[in-house]
Amino acid sequence: MNTATVQPTAEAQPQRPWAVKRSTRMFSAGRLLAFAVAAFGITLVTPLANVDGWAIAFLLVNIVWNLGVTSKLGAKERKDALLRLTITSLGMLAFIPWLSIFVSVLLKGYRALYPGYFVGDMRVTTPDDEFNMGGAGHAIVGSLIMVAIATVVTLPLGILSGIYLTEVRGRLTFLVRFIVQSMAGVPSVVAGLFIFTTVVQSMGKYSGLAGGLALAVLMLPTVSRTAEEVLKLVPDDLRNAGYALGARQWRTALMVVLPTVRAGLVTAAILGIARVIGETAPLLLTSLNTNGFVFNPFGGTVASLPTYIFAMFVYGTEYSTARAWTGSLVLLAFVLFFFLLARRLGGRKTAVKTKK
In a domain, 91, yes or no: yes
User: What percent of the chain is predicted at pLDDT more than 70?
Assistant: 91
In a domain, 234, yes or no: yes
pTM: 0.77
78-92, 156-170, 249-263, 321-335: segment of lowest average pLDDT: 78-92
The answer on 335 and 225 residing in a single domain is: yes
Average pLDDT score over residue span 151-172: 89
In a domain, 89, yes or no: yes
The answer on 151 and 76 residing in a single domain is: no
In a domain, 114, yes or no: no
The count of domains in the chain is 2
The answer on 166 and 75 residing in a single domain is: no
The answer on 155 and 281 residing in a single domain is: yes
Angle value at C-alpha 278, between 274 and 284, nearest 5 degrees: 140
The answer on 293 and 164 residing in a single domain is: yes
The answer on 295 and 170 residing in a single domain is: yes
Radius of gyration of the chain (CA): 28
Write b or e for each residue in 228-262: b if 16 or more Cβ atoms lie within 10 A of its Cβ, otherwise e: bebbeebeeeebeebeeeebeeeebbeebbbebbe
Domain of residue 83 covers 26-109
The answer on 43 and 184 residing in a single domain is: no
In a domain, 287, yes or no: yes
pLDDT tens, residue by residue, 252-269: 888 888 888 888 888 888
In a domain, 77, yes or no: yes
CATH code assigned at 289: 1.10.3720.10
The answer on 142 and 100 residing in a single domain is: no
Centre a 10 Å sphere on the Cβ of residue 33 and count the other Cβ atoms it contains.
Answer: 10
- Under the banding of pLDDT at 50, 70 and 90, the label for residue 355 is very low
The answer on 68 and 183 residing in a single domain is: no
Torsional class of 7: left (φ above 0), alpha (ψ -120 to 50), beta (otherwise): beta
The answer on 178 and 41 residing in a single domain is: no
